[in-house]
Amino acid sequence: MIRSRYILLVIVLLGCGLPGYGQPFFDLLNARKLMGPGSLGSPSAGRNLRSEYDLLAVNVPVPLQKSPSRTLVLAPYADRWLVNATDSNLALRGYGIPVNLLWSLDSSRWELLTSVIFRWNAFEATLRDPSQYGMAVMLGKRYSNNLRLRYGIYANREYFGRWVLPLLGVDWTWKNGTRVFGILPASLTWERHLSKHWYHGFTYRSATTSYRIPENRYLRINETQFGAFVDFYPLPFLAVNAEAGHSLFRNCRAGLVDTRGLDVPVRDTWYLRFGISIRKRLDR
């Protein structure tokens, strides 16, 4: 019975990337909410769910050296998954403290990012829960004023085992106010500058995460999202975001910690996402 309750957490997933890296802006404070229907089970006998995801994240840059530049970025965050079904409600909580160090090399043509990530993901998580540790290293090169590429690797100790991914970052500016940026395979965004106050575009996200649940078990969620968004800047430092899209290739597994687990039948669905950020754009 306990296991079946946690399977209800099969819902849309919003992944978090490396804070402030691989994008033309830096969010000092970011709050967002994702909502959408969901379903569990086969198409003919599934259960309908309503899910919500809340995130509050802070990025604190600490300059360590001016030339060549050395910057420490502390990026604590807290998130919550809430799933409402006809007969029960369930919440998973997570906390994270990524510690990032950005080095400028060779007169800013080359840059190096090292990141250590401390995470606590569990049912009603507290800082006493078993934690997950991860790291990322990325080396970036500016090929021209309009193109910068980054190469790296990400590794994390998830509850289902070790998780390692190669990373490819891109930041490509076109002449008509269009920009393509992101860190693959986690995210890629096509953004167009419409006016002083408006941006719009399309975005892709893909993420894998896991949560500790009772009886020494875990829930793993793999999610890919495609969406269209609009950003409104009522003030130069304030961004309001709205996005709508659909999930693809959703896959979930549940099992004992450090085992492969079993597949959970889920279906893709639509989602809505809203956010507000205190933001410093780097392209103005």
User: Where do the H-state alpha helices sit in the chain?
Assistant: 2-7
User: Where do the H-state alpha helices sit in 182-261?
Assistant: none
- Quick check: helix, strand or coil at residue 19? coil
Which residues are registered as beta bridge partners of 259?
none
Q: Are strands 77-84 and 132-144 parallel, antiparallel or unpaired?
A: unpaired
Q: Are strands 187-193 and 198-213 parallel, antiparallel or unpaired?
A: antiparallel
Mark residue 195 as left, alpha or beta (left: phi above 0; alpha: psi -120 to 50; beta: remaining).
Answer: beta
Distance CA 167, CA 178 (A): 23
- CB 83 within 8 Å of CB 50: yes
CA distances for 152 relative to 85, 184, 204, angstroms: 41, 10, 19
pLDDT above 90: percentage of residues in the chain: 45
pLDDT at 44: 44
pLDDT at 253: 87
Distance CA 118, CA 102 (A): 18
pLDDT at 123: 76
pLDDT tens digits along 89-135: 677 888 899 999 998 887 668 999 999 998 888 876 565 665 788 99
Which residues are registered as beta bridge partners of 221?
209, 252
How distant is the alpha carbon of residue 241 from its chain centre?
15
pLDDT at 108: 67
pLDDT < 50 positions in the chain: 1-19, 41-45
Distance CA 35, CA 187 (A): 19
Which residues are registered as beta bridge partners of 121?
94
Burial class (CB in 10 A: 0-12, 13-18, 19+), 176: exposed
Single pTM value for the model: 0.85
CA distances for 183 relative to 62, 155, 165, 206, angstroms: 23, 15, 11, 10
pLDDT at 43: 46
Which residues are registered as beta bridge partners of 101?
72, 114
Smallest Cα–Cα separation from 241: which of 196, 216, 278?
Answer: 278
pLDDT at 131: 74
pLDDT at 4: 42
- Quick check: helix, strand or coil at residue 183? strand
CA distances for 188 relative to 111, 201, 219, angstroms: 20, 11, 26
